[in-house]
A and B are shown apart, each in its own frame.
Chain A
Amino acid sequence: MKYLDEYRDPRAAQLLLDEIRRISSRCWTLMEVCGGQTHSLLRHGIAAELEGTVELIHGPGCPVCVTDQEAIDFACQLAQRDEIMLTSFGDMLRVPGSRGSLLDAKTVGAYVRIVYSPLDAVELARKHPDMQVVFFAVGFETTAPATALAVKQAGRDQLENFSMIVSHVRVQPAMEALVQAPDNRVQAFLAAGHVCTVMGYESYESFIEQYQLPVVVAGFEPLDLLEGILACVMQLETNEARLENRYARTVRSAGNQTAQDLVQEIYQICNRAWRGFGEISEGGLELRPEWQQFDARSRFTEPVLPVLGVDECRSFEVMSGHLKPPDCPHFGKRCTPELPLGAPMVSSEGACAAYFRYHGAMSRR
């Protein structure tokens, strides 16, 4: 496939790997913010190839991993109601809240459906006027335009049986929370390519000025990632801290203005609880008051159930780079993809699941 295959070329990757090794005078610590990048780095064996040259910390950019347990519990609660068809992305289904996952809810009779796109959920609402279709909207700024468009479309068609549980999160406040932590180990960031596709990267200038860390916008294929890593290492070796865009075929400096306008029209910035992180100031998006009629939380009142137990998952330590998944005492023992303690083990792009899947046997030895 064009724009995929050539960026997976093994010889080109080898050249970039050699160059990274050649210019590195020491082992640098980089964070790839995005879970999709984590997935690709492990799937293609790049993290292993660079061992000793670059340490890659797998950051918090896995939206289903940072979705608060309370939101999952609420989604499961709604899904149990007879009139509701609960829809979400496939990633979300296995993630446990404090009272089980959506897949568990489905097992006991809830109507839960996977959709590829939030617009498909709107289509389901159109097809099933006798049901209330609720879309569980998770995701970073990349996904927000799609869910905003879904709301807009439901508004245009005056659909009274479509609503959303909005759990969108914003990536930059989380990056700031990470570098502000007293024991931050991150020396440079690979910025999430598709978030930047929507949001642009101009807002990183002040971040770089404040924290003096290189930020390189990178894509998702092996050559994209290696090029991004190489750019980070070059800056670190020359003691620079600036912004570079190494995913320029897709990302423009101002991002996608139409997409941002769409998000602006439907959503406003809010504080949001991140699983493992706690509440992050300006860490999320919520529906604007004028779109409240599409908010499942105001449409359906449910008795508020307390979040059960203590979240034993040490996801914050994993996502902030203080704990490598295989070093977690629960990894592969009490916590496996079959019986996950937390989201990073179950989401396809969660750092723990990615380790378990692609790196598992080596690190469990």
Chain B
Amino acid sequence: MCLGIPGKVVRWLEREGAFAQAEVEFDGVRRIVHMACVTEAELGDYVVVHAGIAISRIDPIEAERIFETLAEWGEDEGWGAGPASDPEASP
């Protein structure tokens, strides 16, 4: 259930309260997303968006953890499956 896609906050329209809104970028498109539940996100942060509302701010440190584990196993090359249209796609 619950398709949730990570997108980057690129512009705040309304920062506070139950009707907070921001413009969020998903690769090559942007959409207005309701931000009531993630008002702490800063510009450039990634949020998980489900059915038009953001439900979580992605923690970039936690996001690296699996790759650190893999590095401990002796594999530490860059990860990222193509087509990498976002230059930031490979950490």
Contact = CB atoms under 8 A, between A and B. Distances in A.
Contacts of A152: 18
Given A6-B80, A12-B75, A139-B51, A149 B18 contact: yes
B80 A9 contact: yes
A142 B4 contact: yes
Interface residues of B, number: 47
29 contacts: A3-B6, A6-B79, A7-B66, A9-B79, A12-B75, A15-B70, A19-B73, A36-B2, A63-B1, A117-B51, A118-B52, A119-B34, A119-B52, A119-B53, A139-B2, A146-B50, A149-B53, A192-B1, A194-B50, A194-B55, A197-B55, A248-B65, A249-B58, A249-B65, A251-B56, A256-B56, A258-B36, A258-B38, A258-B39
A194 B1 CA distance: 8
A242 B3 CA distance: 26
Interface string B60-85: 10110111001001010101111011
A258 B79 contact: no
B3 A36 contact: yes
Contacts of A197: 4, 48, 55-56
A248 B48 contact: no
Nearest to B59: A249
B27 interface: yes
Contacts of A1: 6, 26-27, 85-86, 89
Interface in B7-38: 8, 18-19, 26-27, 34, 36-38
Interface in A4-62: 4-12, 15, 19, 34-36, 61-62
B89 A117 contact: no
Contacts of A192: 1-2
Given A145-B37, A258-B37, A195 B81 contact: no
B1 A195 contact: yes
Contacts of B67: 6, 12
A116 interface: yes
A127 interface: no
A176 interface: no
Contacts of B50: 142-143, 146, 194
Interface of B: 1-6, 8, 18-19, 26-27, 34, 36-39, 46, 48, 50-53, 55-56, 58-60, 62-63, 65-67, 70, 73, 75, 77, 79-82, 84-86, 88-91
Nearest to A34: B1
Contacts of B52: 116-120, 146
Given A4-B5, A12-B79, 12 more contacts: A5-B82, A5-B90, A7-B66, A8-B81, A120-B52, A140-B1, A146-B34, A195-B2, A197-B4, A197-B56, A249-B62, A250-B48
Contact of A142 (B1, B46, B60): B1
Contacts of A198: 55
Contacts of B86: 1-2, 5
Interface residues of A, number: 55
Nearest to A138: B1
A281 interface: no
B6 A4 contact: yes
A139 B52 CA distance: 14
Contacts of A11: 75, 77, 79
Per CB-CB distance, the 6 closest pairs between chain A and chain B, nearest first, are A117-B52, A142-B2, A194-B2, A3-B6, A249-B63, A248-B62
Interface centre among A119, A140, A249, by most B CB within 10 Å?
A249
A222 B80 CA distance: 12
A156 interface: yes
Contact of B37 (A10, A223, A256): A256
B36 A149 contact: yes
Contacts of A227: 66
Contacts of A7: 66
Contacts of A61: 1
